[in-house]
Amino acid sequence: MFTLIIGSKNYSSWSMRPWVLLRHFGIAFAERKLRLDSPEFYAALAPITPTQTVPVLLDGDLVVPDTLAIVECLAERFPQHAIWPADATQRARARVLCAAMHAGFQSLRQQMPMNIEAECPGLGWNLAVQRDIDRICALWDGALRASGGPFLFGAFGAADAFYAPVCARFHTYAPKLPDFAAAYARRVLDVPAVRQWCDEGRAEHDFIPADEPYRSRPDWS
C-alpha cells in the first residue's frame, strides 16, 4: 500500500492535490502528516528525499517527491481510473492546465496563501494577483466550454485536483469571480474528497505564524 507524506492540511496546497486524487478514486494509502516548518518536518524528510518538501509518495523502495510526478505515477498504475481524460487531445490539454498550476501563478500563491480555516475577503488582492485570477478563469472557461463540464474535462480528475487549492483560496479571500468560475469553484469544494480535506484542515487548529501573514494585522477578523 502507498504511503503519502503530507503537510498541515490547513496550509499545504501541494499536499492537497494528490491526497484528494487518491481519496476520490478510492486508492488505498496510508497518510503520514508532518507539521509544516517544524524540526520534525525536516528531520523526517531528510533521509527520504533531498528536496525535503511534501507531498512524497512512497511505494516500497520507490520515492516520488513531486506532485505532478505522483499524478503520472498513479495514472500509470491505475489506468482503470479516469485520472486523465481518455481522449488524447483532452489529455494533453489537461496536462497543460496542471503544468500551468504547477509552475505559475506566483502572485496568487504569495499574496493569497492557502489557509482553509480563515475568512479574510479582499486581503492579499493587487493587480498582479488579479492577472493570475484572470488567467486561471480563462483556462477554466476554455476547458469547461470544450468538455461541457461539470468539471474541467467532464468528470473530476487530475486537473480539478490541481486547482482544488485555488478554489479553497477563492473561498478564503473571496475575490470577485465570473459567475461560471464561482460556480465551478463551489462544485470542486463540494466533491466529497475535497470537502473531507477542508473539514480536516479546519479541525487542526494549529496555526503556523509563517503561514498566517494577516493574523497580526489590525483589520484581521
pLDDT tens by residue, 62-85:
999 999 999 999 999 999 999 999
C-alpha cell at position 83? 485520472
Residue type at position 49: T
Cα Rg of the chain (Å, integer): 17
Residues with Cβ within 8 Å of residue 13, at least 6 apart in sequence: 109, 113, 114, 165, 168, 169
Give the fold, CATH level 3, of 88-202.
Glutathione S-transferase Yfyf (Class Pi); Chain A, domain 2 (1.20.1050)
Give the fold, CATH level 3, of 2-77.
Glutaredoxin (3.40.30)
pLDDT of residue 215: 58
DSSP annotation of 140: H
Residue with cell 466550454: 145
| Three state DSSP letters for 194-205 | HHHHHHHHHCCC
pLDDT of residue 218: 45
Rounded Cα distance, 211 and 209, in Å: 5
Pairing of strands 29-33, 2-6: parallel
pTM: 0.94
pLDDT of residue 212: 78
pLDDT of residue 214: 64
Rounded Cα distance, 115 and 100, in Å: 21
Closest among 105, 98, 90 to 72, alpha carbons compared:
98
Closest among 12, 14, 196, 214 to 121, alpha carbons compared:
214
Task: Parse the chain into domains and list their residue ranges.
Answer: 2-77, 88-202
pLDDT of residue 37: 82
Three-state DSSP state, 167? helix
Residue with cell 478514486: 25
Low-confidence residues of the chain, pLDDT below 50?
Answer: 217-221
pLDDT of residue 64: 97
State residue 32 phi and psi, 5-degree precision: -125, 110
For the chain, list the strands marked E by DSSP.
2-6, 29-33, 56-59, 62-64
Closest among 58, 50, 49, 54 to 29, alpha carbons compared:
58
Residues in the chain: 221
* Cis amide prior to 65 (ω within 30 degrees): no
